Amino acid sequence: MDNNKHLKYFKIENFKGLQSFEMNNIGQFNLIAGDNNVGKTSILEALLFSEELEKLNSYYFHAFTERNNLTSVKEEFDFLSYYFNKQTKSSLIQYVTQYINAEKNSFILRTSSIDKLEQSQLEKLKNKLLISPKLRYVSILERNNQDFAIDLMFNGLGKYPYSPMIFYTTGYRNDLIGFYSENIQKSQKSKSMFLNSLNFFINEIEDIEIVPSEMNNVSLIYIRIKNIDELIPLSMFGEGANKLFRILLEIEMVRGQRLMIDEIDTGIHYSRFKGFWKTIIKSAINNDVQIFASTHNLECLKYFKEALEDEDMILNQDNARHFLVEKIKNGETKAYTYNFEQFETALNMGNEVRGGK
Amino acid sequence: MKKIKFFVEGEADRRFLIDFLKSLDLSVDESNFIILSGNDEAALNNSIIDFQRNTDNDGINLLIFDADEGHKSTLDRLESVKRNLKISFVQFLFPNNKDSGTLEHLLISVVPKSNKVIFDCFDSFEECLKADDRFNPPILKTRVYAYVDSLLSKKERKEREKHADEKYRNYLRKDHWDLTSPALEPLRKFLETHLN
């Protein structure tokens, strides 16, 4: 792993239920396991952090609406404060990040209503306020205790209509059409690789087509199968195929960066896990993407190990990590990092790797 | 009560300790046993997280190993591993936390008096093999397996693995083992100190 956009250390303070939480020795393929309510999804959301404030706002906005199943948020609503820790009543989040071949950086994210801003801060927002006069909240990101950025908290699609996180509830949706046509369809090479990866779940797949629906003018993704004349909607192929389609697509979209996948095992039959993992790992390598995936499922963990034990995958073992997240006695949430050898030993000896005991 | 985690070298140790604890009315769930992949520093490092997790929750790690390289040298080596890996544990070394030996040494010393004759037969068998350097004398594990096997009923012998194999052996069988033997006193004291 040599991409300098990949995290090797990450710490957050006052983020949702996590008062203080850190991850050490992060790899390129990271599994996160732990008991219910330990904060696995919150950790994935925290990892949406970006040093670009506009992106960070947008990512958290999308994650917020997705997790709460909302289609819109009122403009006078401070949605970022949803991410603040309720116990400490803190009104800011602290981050420490360290990328490969880089020093640690610390950040503070806070929000403010426009009425409480100083004149100099208002000056910075003057042009944006002219365009969006109804917005009432701003987000402020400080880097290493210095003023860094201030931006209107834009409660809408914004410049980045996306967040690099796949929630477990996310199945087939029309957003895939835009993602597909933007990232795959235009390149014959990308399309060929994409079809090849999908073949694992959709046998004899020949092509993917976007076709307007006769019912409601909304386009749908269709699959062309060898020797079958009729196109078949992607949504007909079951949860596993749809999940893999989305994951592979989003890996292409976040090329060089990171993708968070909540409960990656949902909808995947155990007999498919090994191939599923190999497909995802290979795609992540091709696109230089760092993966963070949560799971409860012991079989999913075992097949992750088995996938990496295959001869063609052994070289990737050094980049695999397993994080067991637990609340320890003093109330702190702690991540224990297993390197591949430790993870392999624990599974082979039948020792606990999912926490909760 | 503080949570106790047992770190052992293999399935055989776990099997024996679970039964011995039962005989002392100290019931411990199997999940509290961590089986290590060996007894060297690398093996302990592979399970370092299990040590850390229990320590973080104010639990006590009990490491129960063989003193097969000598009691003092095993102890010294474990102290050095403890320092290097920055982990904490309290150790008991088979057979009695004082002498050199293994779990099998302890087992052989706790067979009921009436069965000791079986091991006398092994002695002459071993002497016989030693006389010819083409043959290997049986290891202690083999002796213990054959000891249990020799006591099984015809019916039990049809599934002898389930009875004689160290992974499944029933140490609560009074016709096979005397768990009240004085040879078990050091282990009993060690366990009761930490579990009561």
For chain A, 357 residues long, give each residue's pLDDT as a single digit of tens. Answer: 445 789 999 999 999 999 999 999 999 999 999 999 999 999 999 999 999 999 999 999 989 988 888 877 777 788 898 999 988 878 899 999 999 999 999 999 999 999 899 888 888 888 888 887 788 899 999 999 887 899 888 777 666 778 999 998 777 788 888 889 888 888 898 899 999 999 988 989 999 999 887 777 788 899 999 999 999 999 888 888 899 999 999 999 999 999 999 999 998 998 999 999 999 999 999 999 999 999 999 999 999 999 999 999 999 999 999 999 999 988 899 999 999 999 999 999 999 899 876
Structure tokens at A292: 């963070």
Q: How many CA atoms lie within 13 A of A337 on its CB side?
A: 16
Structure tokens at A340: 């591949």
Find all residues with CB under 8 Å of A30, minimum gap 6, and list them.
Answer: A290, A291, A292, A293, A320, A321, A322, A323
Read off the pLDDT of each residue in B62-82 and give the average, rounded to a whole number.
96
Which chain A residues touch B48 with a CB distance below 8 Å?
342
Nearest chain B residue (CA) to A324: B49
Q: How far apart are CA A101 and CA A106, in angstroms?
A: 16
> Exposure string (b/e) for B31-48, b if CB count within 10 Å is 16 or more?
ebbbbbbebeeebbbbbe
Q: Do B49 and A350 touch (CB under 8 A)?
A: no
> Residue B56: which H helix or E strand, with range?
helix B48-56
Which chain A residues touch B50 with a CB distance below 8 Å?
346, 351-352
The minimal CB distance from A345 to the residues B31, B47, B57 is found for B47
Q: Do A326 and B53 touch (CB under 8 A)?
A: yes
- Amino acid letter, residue A134: K
**Pick from B4, B3, B5, B30: which is nearest to B16 by CA?**
B30
- Amino acid letter, residue A44: L
> Is the pLDDT confidence value at B62 over 90?
yes
End-to-end CA distance of chain B: 8
Residue of A336, A351, A354 to mutate for B, most B C-beta atoms under 10 A: A351
Q: Which of A258-262, B1-5, B75-79, B83-87 has the lowest mean pLDDT?
A: B1-5
Which chain A residues touch B10 with a CB distance below 8 Å?
none
This model of the complex carries an ipTM of: 0.86
> Residue A233: which H helix or E strand, with range?
strand A232-233
pLDDT at A72: 77
Domain segments of chain A as ranges: 49-152, 172-247
Instruction: Decide if A336 touches B, using CB distance below 8 A.
Output: yes
Tell me the whole-structure pTM to 2 decimals: 0.91
> Exposure string (b/e) for B84-122, b if CB count within 10 Å is 16 or more?
ebebebebbbbbbbeebbbbbbbbbbbbeeeeeebeeeb
Q: How far apart are CA A288 and CA B102, in angstroms?
A: 51
Which chain A residues touch B56 with a CB distance below 8 Å?
328-329, 334
Residue of A31, A334, A336 to mutate for B, most B C-beta atoms under 10 A: A336
Q: Do B49 and A329 touch (CB under 8 A)?
A: no
Instruction: Decide if B49 touches A, using CB distance below 8 A.
Output: yes
- Amino acid letter, residue B103: L
The minimal CB distance from A328 to the residues B35, B45, B57 is found for B57
pLDDT at B123: 86
